[in-house]
Amino acid sequence: MSSKRFEVRRLAGVPMEVISAKSDLPLEFVSFDLSPRGAYLMSDAVPKVGEQIVCAFSLYGAPKPFCFFGKVTRVNRGRRKNEAGPTGFGVTFLDPTARERLAIRSCLRDQPLAFQTPGRWLAGLRP
């Protein structure tokens, strides 16, 4: 686990609405993995690292939808050998409360773990 990572990531195909500075209209993405502090969103169109966005999503079992400011922290365009896994971008949520993190953790507890090692990301998903 990365020394910067505070939470366990779980595989979760969660639809997310994202608003960026480039567009006031929400764009729909699907997460590859999710944690209480961030997500990896699958997309061929990727924003720049450092770009600020707003992410909104719902989880089964949560009392209400979540909406967080976020920052793009990683981009995978799939052009390099070390960029295994789906193309897309990683987002760190900037403002979740402790209660919101606890609710996300609770909703995700039965989801399988997402592994940090790229070769293991898609284990079981390849034919």
Dump pLDDT digits (tens) for 56-111: 999 999 999 999 999 999 998 876 656 567 889 999 999 999 999 999 999 999 99
Residue 126 pLDDT: 40
Domain-wise residue ranges, the chain: 10-112
> Do 7 and 113 form a contact (C-beta atoms < 8 A)?
no
Q: What separation in angstroms does the CA of 44 have from each of 24, 30, 41, 104?
A: 20, 12, 10, 26
Which superfamily does 10-112 belong to?
A: predicted glycosyltransferase like domains (2.40.10.220)
**pLDDT bracket for residue 2 (50, 70, 90):** very low
Going from the C-alpha of 115 to that of each of 3, 10, 56, the distances in angstroms are: 15, 8, 24
pTM metric for this prediction: 0.82
* pLDDT band (50, 70, 90) for residue 55: very high
The number of CA neighbours under 13 Å toward the Cβ of 35 is 17
Which pLDDT band holds residue 24 (cuts at 50, 70, 90)?
Answer: confident
Contact in structure between 1 and 25 (CB atoms under 8 Å): no
- Are 45 and 28 within 8 A, CB to CB? no
